Structure 1
Amino acid sequence: MQWININNLEQVDTIKNASGYSVIFKHSTRCSISLMTKRNFELDWEVIPENTPLYFLDLISHRDISAYIAETFQVHHESPQVLLIKDGECILDSSHSDISAEEIAESISA
């Protein structure tokens, strides 16, 4: 699997308007906890269905996009944070040690 970098607001709108599932991982490049969480997620992400887009946001470089994601999907900003989007709605919002590729895969399969 491979990350799709989010670097503009239009990409968030595309995710919002897409049908099916998408995952957004918000990462702070200045935080060791965020780095560890990202690595653990990547070790397990093969359980997520292959056709699920995995979006990555460097929120230090793109604070405006991070704020837009929080507003668009009606979630409280956290870092690290993962959002599972289904048909334009956030159906799962996890942060820190609660981030789990298995939980995302289970939610998609349910």
Structure 2
Amino acid sequence: MEKIDTVEKFEELVKSKSVFWLAKHSLTCPISANAFDEYKEYAEGNTEIDTYYLAVQDARALSNYIAEKYQVKHESPQALLFANNKIVWHASHGKITVASLENAVKEI
């Protein structure tokens, strides 16, 4: 799992990967911490799709950029599944679980 913190790094990622996960999380919110723990657990067991994350406090410009570019309301925590430069699945808060992330991958 790799941290992405700039628009430039994100755009390089979009160009180099056809499918990937990106999680947004807050460094100060306990709900976000729980969701991020689920995401990390999923990432550890996942070998198919690369996983990335951003900390909203460290990458607010990137978080806003993604929300605007892909027309998905910013939430934190938030898990986004990208395929071919589109968000094909997303969830926030308690809906981010290992099971929901695994099921999302089965749907694409």
Output the aligned Cα RMSD: 1.8
Q: Distance in 1 between matches of 2:102 and 2:37?
A: 17
Q: Where does residue 9 of structure 1 map in the other structure?
A: 7
Write out per-residue CA displacement over residues 2-61 of structure 1, whole angstroms, 9 at most, x where no aligned residue: x2101211122123334531000001001111011111232344453x141111101111
Q: Given the two structures, how large is their TM-score scaled by the length of structure 2? A: 0.85
**2:91 maps to which of 83, 94, 105:** 94
Q: Where does residue 55 of structure 2 map in the other structure?
A: 58
In the TM superposition, 1:1-110 aligns within 5 A as 3-48=1-46, 50-110=47-107
On the 8 A contact 1:28/1:34 being kept in 2, the answer is yes
Q: Given the two structures, how large is their TM-score scaled by the length of structure 1? A: 0.84
How many positions carry a matched residue from both structures?
Answer: 107
Unpaired runs of 5+ in structure 2? none
- Sequence identity (%): 27
